[in-house]
Amino acid sequence: MAATIKDIAKLAGVSTATVSRVLANKSAFFSEATATKVHAAATELGYQKNTAAAELVTRHSNVIAVVVNSTKTNFASQIIEGIQAEAHQHDLNVIILYAGDADPVQQRRALMTVIERPVMGILLLSVDLAPENLTLLQGSQVPYCFLSISFDGERLPYITSDDWQVGYQATQALIKQGHRRIGLAGVDSDFHTGRQRVLGYTQALKDAGITPEDEWVQLGNYSYDAGQTAMRAYGAQTELTAIVGASDMAAIGVMNQARDLGLLVPADLSIVAIDGTELCSLVQPQLTSVSQNFYEMGIAGVQQLRSTETLPQKITPIKLVNRQSVRMLKAE
Amino acid sequence: MAATIKDIAKLAGVSTATVSRVLANKSAFFSEATATKVHAAATELGYQKNTAAAELVTRHSNVIAVVVNSTKTNFASQIIEGIQAEAHQHDLNVIILYAGDADPVQQRRALMTVIERPVMGILLLSVDLAPENLTLLQGSQVPYCFLSISFDGERLPYITSDDWQVGYQATQALIKQGHRRIGLAGVDSDFHTGRQRVLGYTQALKDAGITPEDEWVQLGNYSYDAGQTAMRAYGAQTELTAIVGASDMAAIGVMNQARDLGLLVPADLSIVAIDGTELCSLVQPQLTSVSQNFYEMGIAGVQQLRSTETLPQKITPIKLVNRQSVRMLKAE
DNA sequence: GCACTTTGCACAAACGTTTACAATGGCTTT
DNA sequence: AAAGCCATTGTAAACGTTTGTGCAAAGTGC
């Protein structure tokens, strides 16, 4: 049905080899005259290249696959924008796959559709790969790199913020405003990222001479619901004067639940969010945040894929962005 | 490097044809004994199928490509979830491509990477294709369907909400609460979708015996900024008592700007948003919305791709969801 | 006018699969 | 024992490209 270079060759009266070279613009290999003939034939037939066939013989592809976990996280789009920008610079194309939220079956499906085709590399956006799927990935010979997630024991390539610092700085920002009883809401302790944030948080308190109570840390999965649940656990009579939300969503969950409990933000309760996506300036009051540089993470990700370095574990910078959800506390 | 069926064939002492048959599980064509041999060899070699090669000969693929415009719209994820759910039912895989926000070059890039490879169909999420890119798409022989966007003259397959109804019902919801001076903010009049919403809005007013002023409709691109700008245009002294936001984002923009102008929502100003994504319940007050059924749009999209019907223009239902941003107005 | 170098092109193999067709051998049927 | 059938397997062509090799014609220098 669709035209192939064979059809073009016939129509232009040359060989397929010549057609291929003209179309690939390997300029040393053909004359102007044949080139015009070939181009004319190509447009006449409405030729569409079959890249899959080409990739089969060249054994090399120019598409980067991005695997995203589909939790209701919202920073993905920022990372993807970074990825796209850098990829396009180098004439690479980007495809995105959703792997379910920690669902090994869906993860496998996404991984498979990508591994079975020629892709130049795989970027995994904060996906906690099930062990069997990690094996699959590693066995596939395709370069890969994790983004916005880190690992403990395993030696895996990843690019992320310093999560310990994230926890530390968020907490410290509150301490500097005079807060001393500070919660941490919606953080996950099953994975390295979450554990690091808790450690940073704890250390910041200790450095200020504060001993955190166990109930100050409410675990969760970074979601809006996790934030709400955490705030409900703290309760309207909480001794806390400030809370670090484990993500923007969690922070919003905390804030909305606090309001439902009759607490005003920041008058009664200060909040610092972690992530710093546009969500923070959408809500009211706007959330002060420890912001990650997701865009740069994306850029670094494709650079890593393009380089041959074996084990990069790059750290991208963070910064505190003051908005409206923290108030200065008078000395008690 | 990577093992092929040829290697397996050698190791198992059979032909590649047999290997292919065993691996594809064409059960009528081989014995148990050879099957086990083949499988053993395959796992020993860590075989990874090269789907691209297979698709080359079978001339048929099982991946659906979804092209998304990267405006800061947030309903995309809901549609994609619908697409994935339905696709997986039928053993189809989904890949997602970002086409820039109305940038023909990026659109072309996305389209190309998809057309040049074997895909089973293309779904376009609210992307306003530049004319030349539309031609490209149509010339590609690949089935396609637009989602969450509609067209005027051209006979194109699309699935969307009834945008006239969307405009009508949003406006009517406010009229029913006693409002008579109602704005429409952030809507785009360059495309069919936006024009229909304006028409629905206008008709609803007329049906209530209200003659809308020109300034009541503030055009824009559905973004947060568009909402803010619109509200700024209305001003603090606006005669309007209610505003329809052209999207969730636009509505939030309106709301936040209104607050900055000293207007309380819904006490001084009522708002109805269009879309009804989770954003509506994240902000404070929660936004009453005319909600679209994005999930179902996704499902319908892949059904359309699977069917052979040529020109489907399906309408998905909408519904009014009451939250907290509209107040009943006393008769004046 | 000869040997030599370019230039421009065609031939054919290769990439990793699937599948139509043919071939083999054992079993059943008569 | 011949004939036919079935189950299992192999042979080889095909998919649409790219690219190494080789060959003819044209151009160059003597």
Domains of chain A (ranges, CATH numbers): 5-49 (no CATH), 59-161+295-317 (3.40.50.2300), 163-292 (3.40.50.2300)
**Contact positions of strand D to protein Cβ (< 7 A):** 7-12, 14-20
* Residue A102: pLDDT band with limits 50, 70, 90: confident
- Paired strand residues for B125: B68, B147
Q: pLDDT digit string (tens) for B34-62? A: 999 999 999 999 999 999 999 999 999 99
Is the separation of the CB atoms in B162 and B156 below 8 Å? no
pLDDT of residue B73: 65
Strand C lies under 7 A from the Cβ of residue B331: no
3-state secondary structure chain B: CCCCHHHHHHHHCCCHHHHHHHHCCCHHHCCHHHHHHHHHHHHHHCCCCCHHHHHHHHCCCCEEEEEEECCCCCCHHHHHHHHHHHHHHCCCEEEEEEECCCCHHHHHHHHHHHHCCCCCEEEEECCCCCHHHHHHHHHCCCCEEEECCCCCCCCCCEEEECHHHHHHHHHHHHHHCCCCCEEEEEECCCCHHHHHHHHHHHHHHHHCCCCCCHHHEEECCCCHHHHHHHHHHHCCCCCCCEEEECCHHHHHHHHHHHHHCCCCCCCCCEEEEEECCCHHHHCCCCCEEEEECHHHHHHHHHHHHHCCCCCCEEEECEEEECCCCCCCCCCC
Q: pLDDT digit string (tens) for B145-160? A: 999 999 987 789 999 9
For B142, the closest chain A residue by CA position comes to A2
**Contact positions of strand C to protein Cβ (< 7 A):** 7-20
* Average pLDDT for A251-279: 97
* Residue A326: pLDDT band with limits 50, 70, 90: very high
- Over chain A, what is the mean pLDDT? 94
Please tell me the distance in Å from A331's CA to the nearest CA on chain B.
31
pLDDT of residue B1: 59
pLDDT at A312 exceeding the cut of 90: no
B301 conformational bin, left if phi > 0, alpha if psi -120 to 50, beta if neither: alpha
User: Edge-to-edge, what's the strand order for the sheet holding A217-219?
Assistant: A217-219, A182-187, A242-245, A270-275, A288-292, A318-321
pLDDT at A152 exceeding the cut of 90: no
pLDDT of residue A331: 55
pLDDT at B76 exceeding the cut of 60: yes
* Average pLDDT for B161-180: 98
pLDDT at B330 exceeding the cut of 80: no
* pLDDT > 90 fraction of chain A, expressed in percent and rounded: 89
User: What is the Cα–Cα distance from A11 to A34, expressed in whole angstroms?
Assistant: 12
- Over chain B, what is the mean pLDDT? 94
Contact A80 B98 (CB under 8 A): yes
* pLDDT > 70 fraction of chain B, expressed in percent and rounded: 98
pLDDT at A314 exceeding the cut of 80: yes
pLDDT at A97 exceeding the cut of 70: yes
| Residue B219 touches partner A, C-beta closer than 8 Å | no
pLDDT of residue A156: 92
pLDDT at B331 exceeding the cut of 60: no
Q: Which protein residue's Cα is closest to nucleotide C17 at C1'?
A: B54
Between CA B281 and C1' D21 the distance (Å) reads: 69
Between CA B26 and C1' C21 the distance (Å) reads: 17
Which of A23-27, A65-69, A93-97, B132-136 is predicted least confidently? A23-27
Between CA B54 and C1' D19 the distance (Å) reads: 22
